[in-house]
Structures are given as structure tokens and as C-alpha cells.
Amino acid sequence: MPSAPDIQAVRQYLLELQDRITETLRETDGGAGFRQDAWERPNGGGGRTRIMEGGLVFEQCCVNFSHVFGSALPASASAQRPELAGRGFQAMGVSLVSHPLNPYVPSSHLNVRFFIAEKDGAEPIWWFGGGFDLTPYYGFMEDVIHWHRNAQEACLGFGDDLYPRLKRWCDDYFFIKHRNEPRGVGGLFFDDFDQGGFDNAFGLMRSVGDRYLSGYLPIVERRWATTYGDRERAFQKYRRGRYVEFNLVQDRGTLFGLQSGGRTESILASMPPEVSWRYDYQPEPGTPEAELYARFLVVRDWLGECGQDADDRYRQG
């Protein structure tokens, strides 16, 4: 008989995940650390926002936990799932966005979440979602290969086809349609996931949450002290504009949070602190900025097409 959803177990894991990630990133940064802003939602629930601003490594980094509930769903959640109409809901998750100071360190995003809709006399409808993705400003093949190997390892034990499926889902989801380009180099993304019952689906969410730091920290440690100047900083601010555009125009999580009466300051804490837009900017051919578009802002089979070549060059130094 399938196991029933254990809401308290999910909540406890998410709180512990937020604690673990914020403590590790605080140690990595070595600066003032995070401040916490606990909040309550008038319509039910609340959360705790932890944010680092002006760090030594991270210009801004937010790690949010939220657990909200209500008697009716917002339009962003019920439009594609009409069977949810008339049900009360609970939604909880941890979301993270890091915006490092050094342009050679990528921005990163993690989200793991659980949703359940219940109605008297009916079986609950529930699912897990989440994933992580990487947004570099200057591309390094060994960083991307490491990121995707780590993503592949997060999927081990959940089916041989899972990594390519979630990798493809991530490529599709984090594609900026109005720019006709990916937001970054991808990673994993999944939603509406209840495959194998509650225990299996919860296990996948935990595996994704637990693998974020092992994917991101080696890249941060490799790049954070790289020398940069005004040129790199200007390009970083320009490319951060794509992050803003995606979050405000396409991201379902942002829309759900705003439409469900979530805390606006916490939802928009994912935005980079300094951004710029330039009209019809085109990088000079042959520059590292042009290489980002040509080699990295493309959908690729990083572990198949690119993996062996990156391994060879990395061993050769």
C-alpha cells in the first residue's frame, strides 16, 4: 500500500536544509553572514528569509524557507490543474539564489518544494518539484562538466533515464523565450513529481537538495579570487539583466508567490543587487564575452559531447 504523505517530515527536512546551506555559505564567504527575517502570511503560514548582502564572496545571496497554506489556489496553480479547484492547499519549500561579486563566479539557483491539495472525502493531490541551475558570466568547461556530473549523481537510484529527462526539462524551462537563449548552462528541473509514491519522490527531492553544495562550492572556490576589472564587471551586470527578465516574465514560482499573497520582499530577494541593460549589445568577436554566447549559452549534452574533451584538457592543465 502506498505510503501517505508525511507533511511534517518534509517541513523538518526543509528547515534543516536551510540551516545547513546558510551555515556553509556563511563559512565560505567569511564576511558578515546572513541576517534572518521571520515573517507571517496574513492568509496562512509564513517563513524565514535569510539574506547576505555585501559579502566578501557573495554580493547578495538569499536562502528562503516558506510554508504557506490557504483555502483556495491562485490562478497560476489552478490554470493547468482544474482538478485542484475547491481544494485547500499547503506549499512549502526552500529556494536559493546566489549572486557572487566576482564575475568569474557563476550565479546559482536551487529550489526544492512540496505541494499538497486536500478536500474532505477525497484523496489528497500532492507532488514534489525543484532543481538547480547555473548561470555563468564567463564560461569554463571544467566547471560546467563538474556541475552536470554532480546533477547526474543526484539522480542515481531513481532510474537510468532520470538525469537526461530532468536535464532536458531544465533546458526547456530556463529558456528565455523573448531572447531566444538559455538563461545559463542548465542542471536539473522537475515538477508535478509523484513517481514511485511518496517515499521515492521525497527521496529525489532530498537528493537534489543535498547535492547543491557539492556542485556549487568547488566552482566558487576555484574562481572567487580571479582578478577582474571594469570590463568584466560591466558584462556581469548586463547579463544579470537576463536573470531579472526571466524571473519577472516567465518563472512560475515567482508568479505563484505573488499571486498567492506571499511576502514580496522575500520573493524578490532573488533579484541581483546591481544590474544594467544596454540597447542591442553585441560582444566583440573573439572575446571571452562572445565565447559565452557561442560555447555556453547553447543547449548541449555536456557529459556526452563535451565531457571527455574537458577531462583531457583539465588533466593537461
Query: How much is the pLDDT for 100?
Result: 98
What's the rounded mean pLDDT across residues 28-52?
91
What's the rounded mean pLDDT across residues 151-160?
96
Ligand-binding site membership of 113 (annotated) = yes
Alpha-carbon distances, residue 31 vs 27, 52, 103, 240 (angstroms): 8, 9, 18, 23
pLDDT tens, residue by residue, 304-316:
976 655 445 434 3
pLDDT bin (cut points 50, 70, 90) of residue 78 is low
Q: Which of 28-37, 114-123, 232-241 is the most confident on average?
A: 232-241
Q: How far apart are CA 240 and CA 291, in angstroms?
A: 17
Alpha-carbon distances, residue 99 vs 180, 220, 300, 312 (angstroms): 23, 11, 24, 30
What's the rounded mean pLDDT across residues 239-250?
93
Domain locations in the chain? 7-316
Which amino acid is residue 307, in one-letter code?
G
Q: State in Å, rounded, how far the first CA of the chain is from the last one.
A: 54
Q: Select which of 109, 146, 223, 242 is catalytic.
A: 109
Active site residue 109: yes
Q: How far apart are CA 87 and CA 103, in angstroms?
A: 45
What's the rounded mean pLDDT across residues 62-90?
78
Per mean pLDDT, which range of 49-63, 112-126, 249-263 is the poorest?
249-263
For residue 106, give the DSSP letter: P
What's the rounded mean pLDDT across residues 87-109?
95
Q: 7-316, what's its fold?
A: oxygen-dependent coproporphyrinogen oxidase (3.40.1500)
Ligand-binding site membership of 263 (annotated) = yes
Alpha-carbon distances, residue 267 vs 50, 66, 161, 308 (angstroms): 12, 10, 33, 39
Ligand-binding site membership of 146 (annotated) = no
Query: How much is the pLDDT for 316?
Result: 37
Q: How far apart are CA 227 and CA 312, in angstroms?
A: 26
